Structure 1
Amino acid sequence: MSRPLQHPRPNTQNQPRRDARFSPYHRPDTGPVPYEIFDFTKAADSFPNVNNRVNDEFSKLILKRNRELSPSAEDQAALASLSRRVSFALDNLSIASSQELPLLEDKRVVGSYKNGTIIKGHNIVDIAVIFKDHPNLIDVERLGKRVVEILIENAIDENERDVEMEMNELGIFVDIITKSYRARLLTSTGFHSIKKTCDSNDVDSKSILQVLTAVQHARWFDETANYTNIRIAVIIFKDLRRRIPPLEQLSIWMIELLAHYAAFDKNQHLLEVGAVIRRMFRLLASGIFLPGSASIMDPCQNKNSRVNSKMSFEDMDKVACLAQTLLRLISHGYYQKLLSENDEVILDSPITFGDVTITPSTAVYSNNKKEEPANSEGHTET
């Protein structure tokens, strides 16, 4: 017979108690413990597939859609030529020493062109230009004009001489334009050269930090996620992101990290592209970016920085609800329409195809914060 539960006796003899900090159940007061979401791929042994017919059909349709979204051979050659010519001009400027030109420290190709995830129609090559000192508007304008001069001087034919320059009014970037193609020079400097207090002519420090972050993202993708299946998954998700409004809450960086996370099984074997995209939807539907989830750690930030930390609760809920709806549509064969059209997809009402009707998931989060009472002057109190 088990003994009844008793309250602990008071320590009347001043005997030393065991410090609770050494208890295995003690947790520092750092908020809720992040939970791990249900991952179907990790539990594949408990849920074996009946057949792979649907996955094969899904993968073939994804590869077809990827070919449709990829730039033509002519566009790829033109972008590569423009990138090579602009990089050559920047190399010359970094070597030459002149008091009239700002000193350059480095240059890096970043963005979708660097990662191989560019979509047809987006004919832009992003190049991060690292100045030795904090750049200002005059430095950026001089740089753009000098690059144009070098491109014209080294032009082989008249087509290459047709070069223009457009500068952002804040000096954040300079566009080198040739016909329908652009090389966007993103201005930045080293971490040690960023000014804490900027003048009116200085480039904003926040935009400089964003460019440095883009350099880190490009380096991480090249070293860690440079796989064909991951690149295709990113391209497909970017296409869905521009056609399905709620997916706009996911940044390109979040999509890249999610694709890399979903591309490998529990044994670190690379999955085929159809399984990668299915797993991405399953992870979103299970709440990988919901509050309290373990989420995905940002490899380019602090160790405790989660990639969804800047999303609002409402946006997190919208993405999870949308992923649940899309996952049900894909499971019933609706992916043929999702991956074969270019129109915007609206999922606000029930969708019927064949004998199946899919009702969109409803939002769970609601902001019940009441408005503050207004004062006598008619302004809201803060």
Structure 2
Amino acid sequence: MREAHTARRGRQGGRGRPYNRGSQQWRGFVPHIPFDLIHCENAFQRVKPAPDETSLTEALLKKNQELTPSAAEQAACLSLVTKVNTVLDNLTMAPPPNFEVVRVQFDYYVNIDDFFFFVVETHYYFSKIFYIPQKMMQASLAAIRHARWSEENASHSSIKVLIRILKYLRTRFVGLEPLNPWIIDLLAHGAIMQNPTRQPLAINVAFRRCLALLSAGLFLPRSVGIVDPCEGGHVRVHTSLTLEQQDQVAYTAQTLLRVLSHGGYKKILGFEGDSSIATEMSVWEGVVVTPSEKAYEPPPPQEEKPEGGDVTEGEADEMETQDVVS
């Protein structure tokens, strides 16, 4: 009976994969879901009480306070936005002689909490000397969509705190640089809000969860990842990263998670030391933390295949990455 079952699985390619007799390569995309302890706590019961993480919570809130723009900076930002908006209004009402205006409509978005603003032109603006490229306009429109989505769905204070901290880690550790602001917004929102209770998680739990999800391969090839809520076609946001960048984010997060597990949050948040903990061996209360190594190696150059040829699994991973607006 077992032999018959094994033979039947062999004909089907095993693990539910469609089998291609000619090339012995499976086709199609079967996403995997990274391990997330928050969603399966009932299956992993604690054998001892949860540790007291009051000091971690206080450190996270302190770092958030340092990163929050001051009242003077917020006032300067609003003043700059007012000036830009005034110039755009004047340009629309009375364009220069060498400009030909074609139904110009301006829109802008201001986010004082993160100290940035977007200005976008929704129609072409022609002149004899320049024009706004379509790709630039599409990027600006995407930024507007992202900002409005964040305003509607990520207004909780814990989400804003986590976003600021993750953006700071992106500047502190080279391995996290590929994470663009939009990916960080979605990651922070998911870490705080997406859990069985549907209630916002504590900032210390969400911070640890972010590193754990990245370590488990949330943004690796063939991962279910995070679907972009502002784009059609179920686009996963991490496909804007190269395979090397996806691997870089994963192994950097693995190292930081191990450091965090042994009480090294002060060095992660920049209160002590430098960013070498992500690239050099460190010792924490007798425990040696060795940085994770990269797993991705670029494939050797191959000759061009004829149209309709078989696609290998490595090539399929390469095809997952795409040029999307980030």
TM-score by length of 2: 0.77
Shift in CA distance, 3/126, structure 1 to aligned 2, threshold 3 Å: closer
What are the residue-to-residue correspondences of 1:197-236 with 2, within 5 Å? 201-236=130-165
Residue 191 of structure 2 corresponds to residue 270 of structure 1: no
SS at 2:237 equivalent: coil
SS at 2:256 equivalent: helix
**Aligned 8 A contact 2:74 2:112 in 1:** no
Instruction: Give the match for residue 35 of structure 2.
Output: 38
| Cα distance in 2 for residues equivalent to 1:368 and 1:90 | 49
Deviations 1:147-196 (A, max 9, x none): xxxxxxxxxxxxxxxxxxxxxxxxxxxxxxxxxxxxxxxxxxxxxxxxxx
**Aligned 8 A contact 1:115 1:226 in 2:** no
Q: 121, 126, 135: which is aligned to 2:117?
A: 126
Shift in CA distance, 104/344, structure 1 to aligned 2, threshold 3 Å: farther
Instruction: Give the match for residue 107 of structure 1.
Output: 107
CA apart distance, 1:81 = 2.8
**Aligned 8 A contact 2:215 2:253 in 1:** yes
**Aligned 8 A contact 1:55 1:275 in 2:** no
CA apart distance, 1:91 = 4.3
| Cα distance in 1 for residues equivalent to 2:5 and 2:207 | 54
SS at 1:294 equivalent: coil
| Cα distance in 2 for residues equivalent to 1:3 and 1:67 | 62
**Aligned 8 A contact 1:115 1:231 in 2:** no
CA apart distance, 1:245 = 0.5
More displaced stretch, 83-92 vs 31-40? 83-92
Runs of 4+ in structure 1 over 6 Å off: 25-29
SS at 2:37 equivalent: coil
Whichever of the two has the greater Rg, that structure is 1
Among the aligned pairs, what percent are the same residue?
A: 32
**Aligned 8 A contact 2:266 2:272 in 1:** no
Instruction: Give the match for residue 377 of structure 1.
Output: none
| Cα distance in 1 for residues equivalent to 2:17 and 2:57 | 47
SS at 1:128 equivalent: strand
SS at 2:240 equivalent: coil
Instruction: Give the match for residue 348 of structure 1.
Output: 279
Residue 218 of structure 2 corresponds to residue 288 of structure 1: yes
**Aligned 8 A contact 1:243 1:342 in 2:** no
What are the residue-to-residue correspondences of 1:1-382 with 2, within 5 Å? 5=4, 31-48=28-45, 50-91=48-89, 93-94=91-92, 96=93, 100=97, 102=101, 103-109=103-109, 114=111, 116-118=113-115, 125-136=116-127, 201-264=130-193, 265-341=195-271, 344-346=274-276, 347-370=278-301
| Cα distance in 2 for residues equivalent to 1:90 and 1:209 | 19
SS at 1:41 equivalent: helix
- In the alignment, residue 124 of structure 2 is paired with which amino acid? D
CA apart distance, 1:117 = 2.5
**Aligned 8 A contact 2:69 2:113 in 1:** no
Shift in CA distance, 336/343, structure 1 to aligned 2, threshold 3 Å: closer
CA apart distance, 1:35 = 0.9
SS at 1:357 equivalent: strand
CA apart distance, 1:212 = 1.1
Shift in CA distance, 224/3, structure 1 to aligned 2, threshold 3 Å: closer
Deviations 1:246-285 (A, max 9, x none): 1111111111111111112123111111111111111000
CA apart distance, 1:306 = 0.8
Q: Which has the higher helix share?
A: 2
Structure 1: gaps (5+ residues): 9-19, 119-124, 139-200, 373-382
Deviations 1:5-63 (A, max 9, x none): 4999xxxxxxxxxxx9xxxx797986231011111110122335544544322111000
- In the alignment, residue 364 of structure 1 is paired with which amino acid? A
- In the alignment, residue 336 of structure 1 is paired with which amino acid? K
Shift in CA distance, 334/342, structure 1 to aligned 2, threshold 3 Å: closer
Shift in CA distance, 87/3, structure 1 to aligned 2, threshold 3 Å: closer
| Cα distance in 1 for residues equivalent to 2:96 and 2:4 | 84
| Cα distance in 2 for residues equivalent to 1:252 and 1:41 | 24
